[in-house]
Amino acid sequence: MRHVLIAAMSVLLTAPGALAEDAPDWALVVHGGAGVIERGAMTPETDAAYRAAMTRALATGEAVLESGGSAIDAVERIITEFEDDAMFNSGRGAVFTAAGRNELDSSIMDGRDLNAGAVAGVTSVRHPISLARAVMEHSPHVMLQGEGAETFAAEQGLEIVDPAFFFTERRWASMERELGRLGLPIPPRPEGAPGPEPVDEGALLRDSREHRFGTVGVVALDMQGHVAAGTSTGGTTAKRWGRVGDSPILGAGTYANDRSCGVSATGTGEYFIRLTVASRICALVEFEGLDLQAAADRVIQDELTAMGGDGGVVALTPAGEIAWSFNTPGMYRARQSAGGQPLVAIYGDEE
Ligand code: ASP
């Protein structure tokens, strides 16, 4: 009984954001999308390229966090690099809508004060994650979309690019294939896009099998004991009617709260929205006392799976506990804590 009381008192005395005694100085977990990612469908070169990108993401985060930088800075810095990397479905390399556009969604959240920003359907902002952060820090709002979000981006001096900047042949070909499957017309190539080039069949096959995936997300813990999370995506291939997924929806695709955890999700967004996956995991930690892995597994392996949703999450507590959980064959993912070794994995049978 006595130790229960002591444990209860220490919980009461630990303010959110206060450093847990055995917490690492900092910690970091990232994903680059989940889906039907199987060894047999990957060339050694592609496998190595994704692992290298994950390793770079950890190095970028480490540089920020090791020098005392904030979790929010680490999240933004890593995601801007992913957004420039055409391998991922965010920023350059994003998937196309059925109308032949790249409509980008992103969100970011600070666990210290539950401050947050999100954008949906932007087409000319090079770094949607930075725009989400600007919404959080420099607007009275939490979420902006479409043209208004672009106007705000320009007013904030963020980098605006020609929409053709986001074009990649591989994603264009994937969209054409998906529209063919749906029996829908192929839109004209975007103005300013480079001339058609041959696309590697292997990449197309991978895209078609994992076609919804490639979103990027990061959760970080800084030396001050604060967690932050962010997510960025082009959404789903051949999406229509202004469809918006979970990635920019706080509580669904992204959530961070120093009282419990930070989460970034990837997968079939409609299900993640309906289950409020990210905040639900944090609530299980905060109110049910589940450890992070058990909370993530309950929501992904049990609840999401029972509904028919696919995908996964990465998550991190202020005590430096890290978890990931996914119900797809693979998820590009990586984690590291201060003083520890980086861990990079792709397939379900890796640690
Ligand atoms: N969750 C994203 C969406 O539904 C897609 C993904 O994670 O691949 O827009």
Are β-strands 343-347 and 330-337 bridged in parallel, bridged antiparallel, or unpaired? antiparallel
| Least reliable range by pLDDT among 6-10, 219-223, 306-310, 312-316 | 6-10
In the predicted model, what is the mean pLDDT of residues 157-186?
95
Q: Of 109, 148, 103, which Cα lies nearest the Cα of 128?
A: 103
The pLDDT score that the predictor gives to residue 19 is: 54
The pLDDT score that the predictor gives to residue 64 is: 98
Question: Are 106 and 118 a contacting pair, CB within 8 Å?
Answer: yes
Q: Which domain holds residue 121?
A: 27-347
Q: Is 70 exceeded by the pLDDT of residue 63?
A: yes
Residue 112 lies in a domain: yes
Residue 100 lies in a domain: yes
The pLDDT score that the predictor gives to residue 14 is: 42
Q: Is 90 exceeded by the pLDDT of residue 325?
A: yes
Q: Is 50 exceeded by the pLDDT of residue 53?
A: yes
In the predicted model, what is the mean pLDDT of residues 68-87?
98
Question: Are 330 and 34 a contacting pair, CB within 8 Å?
Answer: yes
The pLDDT score that the predictor gives to residue 1 is: 36
Total structural domains within the chain: 1
In the predicted model, what is the mean pLDDT of residues 30-51?
89
> Tens digits of per-residue pLDDT, 227-262?
999 999 999 999 999 999 999 999 999 999 999 999
Are β-strands 143-145 and 115-122 bridged in parallel, bridged antiparallel, or unpaired? parallel
> What residue's CA is closest to ligand 1, atom 7?
266
Residue 140 lies in a domain: yes
Instruction: Note the Cα 333 to chain centre separation in Å.
Output: 10
Confidence of residue 23 (pLDDT cuts 50, 70, 90): confident
CB atoms within 10 A of CB 68: 11
Residue 148 lies in a domain: yes
Question: Are 247 and 79 a contacting pair, CB within 8 Å?
Answer: no
> Tens digits of per-residue pLDDT, 128-169?
999 999 999 999 999 999 999 999 999 999 999 999 999 999
Q: At what angle do helices 71-84 and 44-66 cross, to 10 degrees?
A: 150
Say how many Å lie between the CA of residue 310 and the centre of ligand 1. Answer: 10
Question: Are 148 and 74 a contacting pair, CB within 8 Å?
Answer: no
Pocket of ligand 1 (CB under 6 A): 33, 89, 212-215, 233, 235-236, 245-247, 253, 266-267, 269
Tokens of 38: 């199987």
Q: Is 80 exceeded by the pLDDT of residue 89?
A: yes
| Least reliable range by pLDDT among 80-94, 160-174, 177-191, 206-220 | 206-220
Question: Are 88 and 98 a contacting pair, CB within 8 Å?
Answer: no
Secondary structure in 3-state letters for 31-61: EEEEECCCHHHCCHHHHHHHHHHHHHHHHHH
Question: Are 121 and 239 a contacting pair, CB within 8 Å?
Answer: no
The pLDDT score that the predictor gives to residue 15 is: 45
pLDDT averaged over the chain?
A: 91
Are β-strands 330-337 and 27-35 bridged in parallel, bridged antiparallel, or unpaired? antiparallel
The pLDDT score that the predictor gives to residue 270 is: 97
The pLDDT score that the predictor gives to residue 201 is: 67
- Indicate the Cα dihedral angle 64, 167, 48, 293, nearest 10°: 60
Say how many Å lie between the CA of residue 220 and the centre of ligand 1. Answer: 20
Residue 288 lies in a domain: yes
Whole-angstrom distance, CA of residue 60 vs CA of residue 70: 13
Whole-angstrom distance, CA of residue 111 vs CA of residue 92: 28
The pLDDT score that the predictor gives to residue 212 is: 59
The pLDDT score that the predictor gives to residue 195 is: 78
Secondary structure in 3-state letters for 142-157: CEEEHHHHHHHHHHCC
Say how many Å lie between the CA of residue 238 and the centre of ligand 1. Answer: 12
Residue 303 DSSP code: I
Q: Is 50 exceeded by the pLDDT of residue 299?
A: yes
Whole-angstrom distance, CA of residue 310 vs CA of residue 282: 20
Residue 169 lies in a domain: yes
Residues forming the active site: 215
Percent of the chain whose predicted confidence (pLDDT) is above 90: 83
Q: What is the largest CA-CA distance in the chain?
A: 73
CATH number assigned to the domain comprising residue 162: 3.60.20.30
Q: Is 155 exposed, middle or buried (0-12, 13-18, 19+ CB in 10 A)?
A: exposed
Residue 10 lies in a domain: no
Residue 35 lies in a domain: yes
Residue 327 DSSP code: S
Instruction: Note the Cα 225 to chain centre separation in Å.
Output: 21
Confidence of residue 197 (pLDDT cuts 50, 70, 90): confident
Q: Is 60 exceeded by the pLDDT of residue 21?
A: yes
In the predicted model, what is the mean pLDDT of residues 61-75?
98
Give the residue, out of 213, 232, 275, with the most ligand 1 atoms within 8 A of its beta carbon, to mutate for a pocket test: 213
